[in-house]
Amino acid sequence: MEIVRDIKTMREKVAEMKRQGKSVGLVPTMGYLHEGHLALIDTARKENDVVVVSDFVNPLQFGPNEDYLVYPRDMDRDAQLCSEHGVDFLFVPTVEEMYPKKGNQVDVFVDVKHLDENLCGRFRPGHFRGVVTVVTKLFNIVSPNRAYFGMKDIQQLRIIEEMVNDLNMNIEIVPVPTVREPSGLALSSRNTYLSAEEREKAASIYKSLLMAKDLILEKGVISTAEVIGTCTRFLSQQGFKVQYFQLVDYDTLELLPKIEPPQKIIIATAVFLGKVRLIDNLVIEVR
């Protein structure tokens, strides 16, 4: 495995691979890799001749009071895991390399409309603008045939799918299912902020999603307000501060006033456990 730190070299390496007729898969990450990231890497490894992992904590997608400065980082460990999982190139640019203007200023962004109005986008203004801007930069640098994103960050995945479609990018976006602990807790780099007791309690997040699924698919509840109310009360009783619990249309990410089959629905929630913000979702089809 080769570690690449600058854009020019990364472009040259990929260009050489493509001259040899090789396909390239990109796994964009913010580092501090866990089994969820490794599932993305392993999927990319099966489907491409060359695998590139980017390891970059992107300041553009963090709000002023969010955890950019304390976001967990461990480059040596990330490099070891990537090497063990057959990664060809680990791209680790600095902030100055990605945003070279004075003060890391950015004057041109890729913007998002409508798709960021609900779920996390409603509570993290500017977040998805930062995400799609850096992903566009990575796509331009690496020119992958395929790029891999986890379904745990479902709004991010859907926005990137639409971005690729709307901007005619010749890249296949490959969704990879959420990886969970045995308790059901979705793997996240932010889980490292949790104590052992909090980690155990956090398993209730997935239980709330399963509860919503059961209410809709098994009990036939058609009122989304009823589903949301039941699940929000459950989470509150478990000690969470619920930022949102929403049911949205898979394609448009618009809030659903009621269940009307056939529908593909994202059941999603964001909660605080102490100061730690955790998200999770489940995708269901109502026939």
Q: What is the DSSP string of 71-118?
A: S---HHHHHHHHHHTT-SEEE---HHHHS-SGGG---------STTSS
User: What Rg do the C-alpha atoms of the chain give, in angstroms?
Assistant: 19
Coil, helix or strand at residue 2: strand
β partners of residue 178? none
Indicate whether 142 and 213 sit together in one domain: no
Q: Show which of 152, 176, 200 is a domain's final residue.
A: 176
Pairing state of beta strands 172-176 and 241-249?
unpaired
Indicate whether 152 and 196 sit together in one domain: no
Residue 244: what residue type?
A: Y
254 alpha-carbon distance from chain centroid: 19
Domain range for 257 is 189-280
Number of domains in the chain: 2
With respect to residue 286, please indicate whether it lies within any of the assigned structural domains. no
* Residues of each annotated binding site for (R)-pantoate: 61, 156
User: Nearest-CA neighbor of 37 among 96, 84, 69, 4?
Assistant: 84
* Residues of each annotated binding site: 30-37, 61, 150-153, 156, 179, 187-190
The stretches of the chain forming alpha helices (DSSP H) are 7-19, 35-47, 75-84, 95-98, 119-123, 127-142, 154-166, 196-201, 203-217, 224-237
User: Nearest-CA neighbor of 249 among 208, 287, 283?
Assistant: 283
With respect to residue 183, please indicate whether it lies within any of the assigned structural domains. no
Indicate whether 272 and 133 sit together in one domain: no
With respect to residue 13, please indicate whether it lies within any of the assigned structural domains. yes
pLDDT at residue 103, rounded to an integer:
82
Indicate whether 254 and 200 sit together in one domain: yes
Residues 6+ apart with CB under 8 A from 218: none
8 exposed, middle or buried (CB, 10 Å; 0-12, 13-18, 19+)?
exposed
With respect to residue 181, please indicate whether it lies within any of the assigned structural domains. no
pLDDT at residue 104, rounded to an integer:
85
* Residues of each annotated binding site for ATP: 30-37, 150-153, 179, 187-190
What's the rounded Cα separation, in Å, for the pair 251 and 129?
19
Active site residues: 37
Residue 49: what residue type?
A: D
What's the rounded Cα separation, in Å, for the pair 45 and 89?
12
Distances from the Cα of 8 to the Cαs of 132, 140, 144, 220, in angstroms? 21, 12, 15, 56
Between CA 35 and CA 50, with CA 98 as vertex, the angle to 5 degrees is 50
β partners of residue 265? 249, 284
* Residues of each annotated binding site for beta-alanine: 61
Indicate whether 151 and 263 sit together in one domain: no
pLDDT at residue 64, rounded to an integer:
87
CATH number at residue 167: 3.40.50.620
Indicate whether 196 and 155 sit together in one domain: no
Q: Encode the chain (287 residues) as per-residue pLDDT tens digits.
A: 999 999 999 999 999 999 999 999 999 999 999 999 999 999 999 999 999 999 999 999 998 889 898 899 999 999 999 999 999 999 999 999 999 998 888 999 999 999 999 999 999 999 999 999 999 999 999 999 999 999 999 999 999 999 999 999 999 999 999 999 999 999 999 999 999 999 999 999 999 999 999 999 999 999 999 999 999 999 999 999 999 999 999 999 999 999 999 999 999 999 999 999 999 999 999 99
Indicate whether 119 and 243 sit together in one domain: no
Q: What is the dihedral of CA 73, 47, 173, 143, to 10 degrees?
A: 80
Indicate whether 136 and 236 sit together in one domain: no
